[in-house]
């Protein structure tokens, strides 16, 4: 697909980090966007940017099939980006039932609406995660590896992924699944995460906190790269006929928590600021990173934004955010 002009698009999770940037990109390319939104969040970039006034809104819960049907069927949306989920590992550990309800039941509700749409929906892109793989004996993760999350959040993403694959392979629904590493960028207000939390502390002149021991290995991908990946996939499922396929997306540059902390510190403070290392992270996979060669070969996708450039853009966003009194 070469253009989104006048395409009717539904985005779940539109108030989240990636959802806000995705909505903006779709609007800029001429799409007619609907968002399924549970709660108003004035701090979300979707609201702060004013993009909320440029889209249609269906208020409802992903766990409610009536609300999902209203968003998919009644508004006759042709393309769906299913990003809606409970996304915090710590929250999932403390509240697994609501995490499972949102992430798993929410996914099958979306899939059932698409199955009942009688061919109306041309493409559905599902946001899974590298967490869906669970702990692996060898890295990087490739798409051929099994999904076997253990912690509540990881299990919820494994199930989301498998449900989407099942509907694609069994019913021929035009589903594609994205497994990204850690997505960062302006608009992430979950301060427990390393990038926004560190930036907030350094801007405020506070001692940054690292929840883990700092040795965990992760992939990091800038939010606009992730949006580009999602839109690549949504177009590919209509042109290449790849229902139920999953793709990894990363820069293929694994880095430790301490090393990305140093990169953030250099960008913002211009020097290394000693953090407080808590070593208290629970129910988290120690080392994770992805092989995204399948996406490069089959979709022609490449990451365009380096870590240095991504952190520069992210820092600029938070400076503006805090300077406006947030």
Please state whether 207 falls in left (phi above 0), alpha (psi between -120 and 50) or beta: beta
Which residues, including other chains, have CB under 8 Å from residue 18's CB and lie 6 or more apart? 83, 127, 183, 223, 226, 227, 230
Could you give the strand order of the β-sheet that contains 56-59, starting from the edge strand earlier in sequence?
A: 56-59, 32-37, 8-12, 79-82, 123-127, 175-180, 245-249
CA distance 63 to 36: 11
Among residues 32, 73, 1, 25, the alpha carbon closest in space to that of 227 is found at: 25
Three-class SS state of 66: helix
* Nearest residue to 8 via CA among 77, 83, 82, 81: 77
CB 132 within 8 A of CB 179: yes
| Cα distances (Å, whole numbers) of residue 266 to 27, 269, 295 | 35, 6, 31
- In angstroms, the CA 159 to CA 244 distance is 14
For residues 15 and 206, what is the distance between their CA atoms, to the nearest angstrom?
28
Phi and psi at 180, nearest 5°, equal -100, 160
* 133 annotated active-site: no
How far apart, in whole angstroms, are the C-alpha atoms of residue 238 and residue 227? 18
**Consecutive H or E run containing 69:** helix 65-69
> Which residue among the candidates 153, 184, 222, 247 is catalytic per the annotation?
153
Residues classed as catalytic: 153
């Amino acid at each position: 697909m070469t253009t989104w002009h006048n395409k009717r698009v539904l985005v779940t999770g539109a108030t989240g980090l990636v959802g806000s940037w995705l909505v903006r990109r779709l609007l800029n390319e001429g799409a007619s966007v609907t968002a399924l939104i549970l709660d108003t969040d004035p701090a979300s970039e979707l609201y702060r940017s004013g993009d909320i006034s440029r889209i249609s809104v269906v208020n409802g819960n992903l766990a409610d099939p009536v609300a999902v049907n209203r968003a998919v069927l009644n508004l006759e949306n042709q393309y769906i980006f299913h990003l809606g989920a409970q996304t915090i590992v710590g929250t999932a550990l403390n509240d697994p039932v609501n995490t499972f309800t949102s992430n798993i039941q929410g996914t099958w509700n979306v899939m059932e609406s698409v199955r009942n749409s009688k061919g109306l929906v041309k493409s559905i892109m599902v946001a899974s995660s590298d967490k869906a793989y669970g702990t692996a004996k060898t890295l990087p993760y490739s798409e051929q590896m099994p999904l076997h999350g253990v912690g509540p959040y990881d299990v919820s993403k494994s199930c989301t992924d498998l449900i989407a694959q099942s509907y694609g392979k069994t019913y021929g629904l035009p589903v594609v699944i994205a497994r990204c590493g850690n997505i960062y960028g302006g608009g992430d207000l979950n301060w427990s995460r390393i990038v926004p939390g560190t930036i907030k502390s350094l801007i405020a002149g506070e001692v940054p906190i690292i929840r883990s021991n700092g040795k965990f290995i992760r992939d990091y991908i800038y939010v606009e790269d992730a949006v580009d990946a999602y839109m690549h996939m949504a177009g590919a499922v209509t042109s290449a006929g790849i229902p139920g396929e999953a793709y990894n997306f990363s820069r293929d540059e694994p880095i430790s928590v301490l090393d990305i902390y140093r990169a953030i510190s250099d960008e913002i403070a211009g020097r290394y600021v000693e953090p407080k290392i808590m070593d208290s992270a629970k129910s988290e996979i120690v080392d994770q990173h992805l092989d995204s060669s399948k996406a490069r070969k089959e979709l022609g996708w490449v990451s365009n934004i380096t870590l240095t450039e991504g952190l520069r853009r992210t820092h600029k966003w938070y400076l503006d955010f805090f300077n406006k009194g947030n």
